[in-house]
Structure 1
C-alpha cells in the first residue's frame, strides 16, 4: 500500500495542472520610506501571497472555476519619531480587477476578446519568478494609520499620505512606498514588539464597549471600522 501511494502521489500532484488546478506562491516586501527632520526613516514587512486557480469545470454554485488569492503576514510599520509610528495596513497588489503594480493595464476594448485566464496565468508566472522592486502608485497605496497613544487602540487615526506634516509636524513627508517580489522569508513579530502582546485584546474590549453604548445607526469611530486582520492575518 505504501509503495502504491509513493507511486501514485507524484502522478496525482503532477496531474493537478493537467486537470486545471494551479497554485502560485511569492513573497512581497512592502517598504515605507518617510523623510523626517532627523533623516530618512524606513520600515518594511515581508508578506506571503498564494494564488489558486480552479478550472471552469470545478465551478459549484457561486464559487470555484476561477482565481482566488490569500495574503499572510503583518502590516509594515516605521517609527517616524520617538514613540510615533506609521502603519501601512495589509493589502494585496495582485488583483487583476484592482490597482496593479506588477500587472499590465488591460485596455477595455481588449477585455472582451482576450483569454483573460491565460493572461493571468502568464502574469502569475512572471510575478512568481520576478525579483523586481517598484514604487506603488498613489492610487494603490495601502491605508496609513497612526495611534495618538500607541498603547490605546481607540486613538487610531487615518493618515493622509499627501500630508504627514498634519499628523507628525513640519518636515515629515512620505517619500514613497515600494513593493518588492522577494525570496526573503515572511517577517513576523514586529507589530507585537511595537503594539504589545495584549493590544488586540484591548481593541476587542473597547470595540464591544463602544458598540454596546452606541446609539442605533450611529457611525463607528475610525478605530473600530478597522479589524485586527487589517494588521495581521494568516
Structure 2
C-alpha cells in the first residue's frame, strides 16, 4: 500500500514538472473622483494557467476566480471593471482589457507562455496606464441590467458632470482571500446563473450583451 502511494506521488510530481500549473492573485483597484470625493472599488482576482498534455493543440489554458471591481457612485449608479472584455464594437485603447492580461502588461511580462512562471513569482504594485485598463461598464441603476452602458475614462466628466474624473487604477499582487459579494449590488446576476448555457446572457438594444462571467470568474 505504501509503495503504491509513493508511486502515485512520484507520478504526480513528474506530471506537474512537465505540465505545471501557474497561479497568481492580485487586487484590482479602480478610482473615480466626483464632487471632490474619491470613490474606490477593488476586488481580489486569481488567475490559474494549466499546461496541457497536447501542447501542439493548446499549450496552456486559464481559469479565473474572484469578481469584478465595483465603484459605487451613489445616486450616479455604479461603474464595474468587468473581468472579460468582450468585443462590444469599436473602442479606443483605454476601453479595456480582460482580467487575464492586466498584470502581465503592468509588470512587463510579454511572453505569453514562457513568462507564466514569472507571473507566479511577482511581487508589488503597479499603476495601470491608459492603454492597460479594464473594460468599464456603467449601470445608472445597478438593480436594472438594461441600464448598462460602456464608458471610456475620457467620457467620465461628460457622463457624471464636470467635477468627475478618472483617478487611476492599480494592480497589486496579494495573498488576500477571494470574496464573491457582487450579487448584493447586482442582484440580477443570480437569474443569469440559473439559466442554461447559451441563454445566460442579456442582450440590450445598444448591441451590448452582458453575462455572468463578466462579473464572477468562470472557476468561482
Work out whether the TM-score is over 0.5: yes
- TM-score bracket for the superposition, by shorter chain length: 0.7 to 0.9
Match of 2:74 in 1: 81
1:201 pairs with one of 173, 191, 209 = 191
Aligned residues: 201
Q: Is 1:13 paired with 2:12?
A: yes
Shift of 1:143: 1.2
Pick one of 166, 176, 180 that aligns with 1:188.
Answer: 180
Distance in 1 (alpha carbons) for counterparts of 2:42 and 2:189: 20
Shift of 1:13: 2.0
The one of 133, 140, 147 aligned to 1:141: 133
Query: How far off its partner does 1:202 sit?
Result: 7.3
Q: Distance in 2 between matches of 1:5 and 1:153?
A: 54
Shift of the 88–94 alpha-carbon distance from structure 1 to 2, 3 Å rule, reads closer
Provide the TM-score with structure 2 as the length reference.
0.77
What is the distance in 2 between the residues matched to 1:222 and 1:73?
Answer: 28
Match of 1:100 in 2: 105
| Structure 1: gaps of 5 or more residues | 107-115, 212-218
Q: 1:80 to 1:148 in 2, by over 3 A?
A: closer
**Counterparts of 2:55 and 2:118, CA distance in 1:** 26
The normalised TM-score by structure 1 is: 0.73
**Residues 1-234 of structure 1: matches in 2 within 5 Å?**
1=1, 3-18=2-17, 20-54=18-52, 58-59=54-55, 63-64=57-58, 66-82=59-75, 84-90=77-83, 91-94=98-101, 100-105=105-110, 117=113, 120=114, 123-189=115-181, 191-196=182-187, 198-201=188-191, 221-222=205-206, 224-233=208-217, 234=219
Q: Which has the larger radius of gyration?
A: 1
State how far apart, in whole Å, the 2-side matches of 1:199 and 1:53 are: 31
Alpha-carbon distance between aligned partners in 1 of 2:120 and 2:10, rounded to the nearest angstrom: 24
**Structure 2 residue ranges without an equivalent (≥5):** 84-97
